[in-house]
Structure 1
């Protein structure tokens, strides 16, 4: 039996739970099957509210991880890193990739978000980014994200996210008929940029039009706390139509989807790339309304698998929710097509295979040089 190549994986793992952390779990599971995997966990926060908050403690942890990386690199053949494309974490991850280059270890930079163009707006920043990315392999979540690496001399691989292996275990209901009142679901961590206030405003429009609905909001507190959310709901005058149930366990998410008529996610998050929760809703057979940003237009296809609205447009969002209920046969067709797309394009086995092949190709190229 041949000796397996040693690969370092520098990743964020839950807690706290968010899309990138969940995908990192899938990635290290896939890599552990094919390689001698050494995981260096990048844990800087225990809750969502602290993720973007800079502290001295985070700086010290980052430096400690750099030391650990230096000890691990001489015995490794590749570095796989969940690379932060913006913010202070971007410079931290740049340091880690440059250390790998110093030890002549090739890096695979997996981008779960957007923001690289913002980090190269000055000549000095552009020089740094080109130096970090030159001759490395970058994993993007979709073709539409190629502008992220414009002008960078790097190898690009497109690998979409995946769903859990049991995502398609249960069949979806064959027919879709909306309840009265319409059951609307929001499921995400409570961040302003995810468009929650846009949804609340759209629901206010529904109420003004006399359209009956019940809105369920589920998710852990982020930069919107429970008290502030309750104040927002009161301000929009939809208390009697809205409930907040807090964070939802992974095993309860499917039940929540099954109890919903529409999943509405009007995100305008500047770092958004490919939100897993949209894929989860589509796989569960819930009709999806979201926004036309990031890779969402690649798989939420108007008149095929869902609806897209402009960000920050509660009037259009309200009209789209009403439209979805007026043509139940068409909505039913769309949700079945969405489920089929998820089964093929976002399968767990496909992701595992593509991640493994990408790292293997990097190792092969490195050994031939």
Structure 2
């Protein structure tokens, strides 16, 4: 019992600072050099500081400090056979792991498109890349974020978005279980989530997600795309709804909003910090400066000369009229301004005809109907207009066709008053193509429009739409292109978004 075996004495010596000799010190430094590329100086003899530090096992993968040469060789051989490395390379030490709990298209709308952009820019879902390429090829993005995507798609098309259905509940629970599994399987402690607009079914969905998932994640990032939840909580929500929303969604780590107008929605729930990050898209018109800028300027000058001679009563009646192409691109709903745009263009053409001007507007409507009654109303309207040659509806089109329509258009018209309008993607796209814009003083839209701009109107005012169309048609839209480059570039958006997510 009292015999101290040599192997036991050797083990004890390694953990006694006052009995570590030069050879053992060199051996310890070598092992730490292999594993961590940074030697840790052993404690000096006589000190009472434990060597290694107590938090060594929490910061490094190997539980024992001294493995011995043979044990270390065996461990490294097993690691190579699994196509892994013993420890993470230095470039991974500052990377953040993030559960992206949001769906990508379909259905196609602004929020799902921005989630898809974020997922692609941050390197895609790490789980899929692990299976396809191995862990050595995972870390190719420069934003320092590893994304683990939970594609929480509950709706199969746009009309189904926000609609309550019991069939969505099992799907939602499955997505939550998937996020929790990722938490423990990959050690992810941060979660990204997009809160709902002020619709009860959507808010109840957020309650379920936060109730099941929030206890497992240390960091919670909310990205507010919709508008109006703060006002709904203070004005319309019942007492129990208000209490549950504050309890389950309140005090998030970080809140990201699209503009200053959106900040009150986040402030109501008292997050730790708030960042304003505008949307951004890849440039759909990279050749604007070389090809399109001169065309826009020449077109504006030409139309200005035509409008200056619009009161001429002696003009030749056989002279062909000039057509100004107006583009409306959005969901074909009343609150997106679909019917207001039609009435506004009709009034503008009536004014031009009264002035005997050889200029007329032609309106192109692009988008799908979400409600059958509004589609029936549009078809009835076409029958009552009479000559509807100035109006055409194309429905849903492909992306190349959409970019071609932006190039051909002279004015972009979007008189929205949609209750949950955040930062419309179609306005950003129109700015990228240097189009003059007619839109409403609604939500955060005026923040990105120049002051005293004649194309900014009140909601539900077709007469103002007609006046604005006549005013902005002769304006060169180059300043909107500059706004796009300064505020809505994809590089700026992704950089600001990554910094907000990783903020300490």
Q: TM-score, normalised by structure 2?
A: 0.66
Q: 2:219 aligns with which of 95, 103, 106?
A: 106
How far, CA to CA, are the matches of 1:209 and 1:353 in structure 2?
48
How far, CA to CA, are the matches of 1:318 and 1:145 in structure 2?
30
- Contact 1:194-1:267 at 8 Å conserved across structures: yes
The equivalent of 1:209 in structure 2 is: 351
The equivalent of 2:270 in structure 1 is: 153
- Tell me which moved more, 98-107 or 21-30: 98-107
The equivalent of 2:437 in structure 1 is: 288
Q: What does the per-residue CA deviation read over 1:306-337, in whole Å, with 9 as the maximum and x for residues that have no partner? A: 72111101111111111223xx2xx11xx111
Q: 1:180 aligns with which of 280, 304, 322?
A: 322
- Higher relative strand content: 1
- Contact 1:198-1:312 at 8 Å conserved across structures: yes
Q: How many corresponding residue pairs? A: 355
- Contact 2:191-2:217 at 8 Å conserved across structures: no
Q: Deviation of residue 22 (structure 1)?
A: 0.9
How far, CA to CA, are the matches of 2:326 and 2:168 in structure 1?
38
5+ unaligned residues in a row in structure 2: which ranges?
Answer: 1-88, 124-140, 304-320, 354-359
How far, CA to CA, are the matches of 2:323 and 2:285 in structure 1?
28
The equivalent of 2:191 in structure 1 is: 79
Note closer, same or farther for the CA distance 1:30–1:15 as it changes in structure 2 (3 Å cut): same
- Tell me which moved more, 263-272 or 135-144: 135-144
Partner of 2:101, secondary structure, is strand
How far, CA to CA, are the matches of 1:135 and 1:256 in structure 2?
42
How far, CA to CA, are the matches of 1:94 and 1:167 in structure 2?
41
How far, CA to CA, are the matches of 1:99 and 1:54 in structure 2?
19
How far, CA to CA, are the matches of 2:181 and 2:387 in structure 1?
56
Partner of 1:198, secondary structure, is helix
Q: TM-score, normalised by structure 1?
A: 0.89
Is 2:232 the partner of 1:118? yes
Larger Rg, first or second structure (1 or 2): 2
The equivalent of 2:338 in structure 1 is: 196
- Contact 1:215-1:241 at 8 Å conserved across structures: yes
CA RMSD, aligned part only? 2.1
- Tell me which moved more, 238-247 or 136-145: 238-247
Q: Deviation of residue 303 (structure 1)?
A: 4.0
The equivalent of 1:42 in structure 2 is: 152
Q: 2:174 aligns with which of 64, 86, 98?
A: 64
Note closer, same or farther for the CA distance 1:156–1:56 as it changes in structure 2 (3 Å cut): same
Q: Deviation of residue 195 (structure 1)?
A: 0.9
How far, CA to CA, are the matches of 2:422 and 2:415 in structure 1?
14
How far, CA to CA, are the matches of 1:338 and 1:145 in structure 2?
22
Q: Deviation of residue 227 (structure 1)?
A: 4.9
Partner of 2:325, secondary structure, is strand
Q: Which has the higher contact order (CA 8 A, sep 6+)?
A: 1
Is 2:107 the partner of 1:16? yes
Q: 1:140 aligns with which of 228, 252, 257?
A: 257
Q: 2:161 aligns with which of 46, 51, 71?
A: 51
Q: Deviation of residue 24 (structure 1)?
A: 0.8
